[in-house]
Chain A
Amino acid sequence: MLISPTALYALALLAIPLGAIVLISFWTQTGVRDFDTTLTGANYVEALSDPIYRALMFRSLRIAGLVTLVTVLAAFPIAYFVSFGVPAQKKSLWIFLITIPFWTSYLIRVFLWKVILGYNGVFNSGLKVLGVIDQPLTFLLYNANSVVITLAHAYAPFAILPIFVALEKIDRSLLEAARDLGENRVMTFLRVTLPLAAPGVIAAVLIVFIPTIGDYVTPELIGGPGGTMIANMIQAQFLRLNNAPLGAALAVLAMLIVSVIAVAFLVLGSRASGAKGTRK
């Protein structure tokens, strides 16, 4: 069994830790490294009833949803352009250009967004030089907006690549057929290209949404008090407030919510594209 070493590794380092975190979320912390191992649901009650945790969870969902929307909407035209508007031999160069920024230090990229969006930042001083504004714009940094911009930048290739792959798989003769049968460009796009690209769009949505909800660095560095997310609270519970069980409960809840949303989205998505498929 060739797969066994890899599967065993994943089992030992992923399944067991995930099981452990679920288990510990039912414990109570009594000292720095001591736990009362009697099972209790108190952490979940606290995580669900305390308005701070609830607000953080909703904000994380809202920010991740917004990031996903912005990223996927901005990414689709790029993927479309590279797939349909670039000559075949130049496609991989474009994809390479799009992926390079993603492979450079994440921390430094996030920090540079702080430099760009800050009070005396590149963006504000640029607008001031151009005479568009007199006073620097303050809504750009240390809030949810800055988190959305930075994450949309960070996750761009994750959205572009799956959509690009789906568009590449479309048989070009289908588009010609639609045009021959009298559809115009827009209708061809809406009735042929878009439904066939749906799997890529669904993959893009999930691959952006799931990791962004757990992002720690961006909210920590540029989120300010209005942009902190659930990952910052999980980190604080584990490393600063010394309440690992509560942190674990928050992590488990975050995972559950994300999984429910992801599964619901997958079901809706496949139903939508399936329905379009049968109509065609």
Chain B
Amino acid sequence: MKGLKLYAILYLIFLYAPIFLLPLFAFNSSTIIAFPLQSFTTQWFSALADIPEMHKAVLNSLRIAATSAVLATSFGIFAAMASTRYRFPAQKGLMGFIMLPLVLPEIIVAVSLLVVIVNAGFSTGAWSVIAGHTLICTPFAIAILQSAFASLDPALEEAAFDLGETPASTFRLVTLPLVMPGIISALLISFTISMDEFIIAFFLTGADPTLPVYLFSMLRFPKLLPAVMALGTLLVLASVVLLTIAEYFRRRGIKRAGAKDTGGFL
């Protein structure tokens, strides 16, 4: 196990190497992204304030991610409840189909949606990115919510029925509070995926780029790269904060349901 532990630590260094480099270059005064480092500066962070197109892209992405997260989580709640509570014909096939985007190359999802939208005579825009992101986030939301619903004791809902609650009020007063941690972590995960997704947004975004699409165009201009590093540092910080919150809620949910913690997301 000693050798394995060393290997595991080296592996973690490999996993984190790019992320550790990010702040180094973000605070480095040289315009060239390479070693040796020069002096410390925060100018790239202040430079971010002067790129209005980027602010537009950030706002656009935030709107798209928030909408996709809510939609994907709502679809996730339906599917997770249906698959953990009830048995119905073609269940496996239907669930498999819904989970398909998890393994389908994203470019296939992107081009096939583009083909339909263009041929149906619609123009692409934020709405089409939301549609695509909801599609790919739903399987992640389902995976998280399924474990939340599976660890929920059905006896609690039956007790609520027996005490005279309607199905709707039982869901609101009993089911919802118990699976709330799962819902919150599904929302955060979907939000993070949508914020970061590039290829579907690249095909479907139309005139208003999302943040990753805008970032991709920035990468072609060497002059803008230090600002990209600064932006990347902020993005990494934001996702670590979001994920820590998501993980906190996921664990609380498991503890609340009295189950044993079996690992992370996915």
Contact = CB atoms under 8 A, between A and B. Distances in A.
Interface of A: 1-7, 9-11, 13-18, 20-21, 24, 33, 74, 77-78, 80-82, 84-85, 91-92, 94-101, 103-109, 111-113, 115-116, 118, 120-122, 125-126, 153, 156-158, 161, 164-165, 168, 206-207, 210-211, 213-217, 221, 231, 234-235, 238-239, 244, 247-248, 251, 254-255, 258
A63 to B, nearest CB: 13
Contacts of A80: 4
B105 A210 contact: yes
B100 interface: yes
A103 B239 contact: yes
Given A9-B134, A161-B264, A214-B107, A16 B116 contact: yes
Given A18-B112, A105-B196, A217-B199, A206 B103 contact: yes
Nearest to A168: B262
A20 B113 CA distance: 9
B188 to A, nearest CB: 10
Given A9-B134, A9-B135, 19 more contacts: A3-B94, A3-B98, A5-B75, A6-B79, A9-B75, A21-B111, A78-B7, A81-B4, A82-B8, A85-B5, A92-B247, A99-B243, A101-B19, A104-B236, A116-B21, A125-B35, A211-B103, A234-B107, A254-B105
Task: Pick from B8, B11, B34, B104 the residue with the most CB of A within 10 Å.
Answer: B8
Interface stretch (B39-47, B82-90, B150-158): B82-90
Given A9-B75, A112-B21, A115-B25, A100 B111 contact: no
B161 interface: no
Interface string B108-126: 1101111110110000000
Contacts of A107: 196, 198, 212, 215-216, 219
A120 to B, nearest CB: 5
Contact of B235 (A92, A104, A111, A254): A104
Contact of B115 (A10, A24, A157): A24
B196 A106 contact: yes
A108 B105 contact: no
Contacts of B51: none
Nearest to A99: B264
A32 B205 CA distance: 19
Nearest to B197: A106
Contacts, number: 248
User: Which label, helix, strand, loop or mixed, suits the secondary structure of the A interface?
Assistant: helix
Contact of A168 (B135, B243, B263): B263
Contact of A1 (B82, B131, B196): B82
Interface residues of B, number: 85
B115 A244 contact: yes
A45 B87 CA distance: 45
B212 A81 contact: no
B257 interface: no
A59 B183 CA distance: 41
Task: Pick from A6, A9, A164, A239 the residue with the most CB of B within 10 Å.
Answer: A6
A210 B100 CA distance: 11
Interface string B207-247: 00000100110010000000010001001100110010001
Contact of A14 (B82, B100, B216): B100
B115 A248 contact: yes
Given A17-B113, A92-B263, A251-B108, A111 B228 contact: yes
B138 interface: yes
